[in-house]
Amino acid sequence: MSTKYRTSERTSIRPYGSLKLNTKIKVSRKPGEMTGSRLNDYYSVKPEVGIELSINDGSKNTFVTTLGLGYGLTGKSRKC
């Protein structure tokens, strides 16, 4: 959810923020082994913040540009 701020008749800005969460599960087994598989969990958190600038030239054309900053965190947990 975001709010658009009108700065002039033709320009507006919209700040935004997001948080992406990912999880991956990988099961691996050794060749020739029937039991005793290993389970590896990977997770990542990627927060992002930014500003979107919209410029309208007076006709149907609108120019939109985005400036964003993000950071990715990845972790690993191992279960036997």
Number of other residues whose CB lies within 10 A of the CB of residue 35: 5
Q: What is the pLDDT of residue 19?
A: 86
Question: What mean pLDDT comes out for the span 42-69?
Answer: 87
Question: What mean pLDDT comes out for the span 57-77?
Answer: 80
Rounded to two decimals, the pTM is: 0.56
pLDDT at 65 over 80: yes
Alpha carbons 42 and 26: distance in angstroms, whole number: 8
The overall average pLDDT reported for the chain is: 78
Q: How many CA atoms lie within 13 A of 8 on its CB side?
A: 8
Cβ-contact 37, 25 below 8 angstroms: no
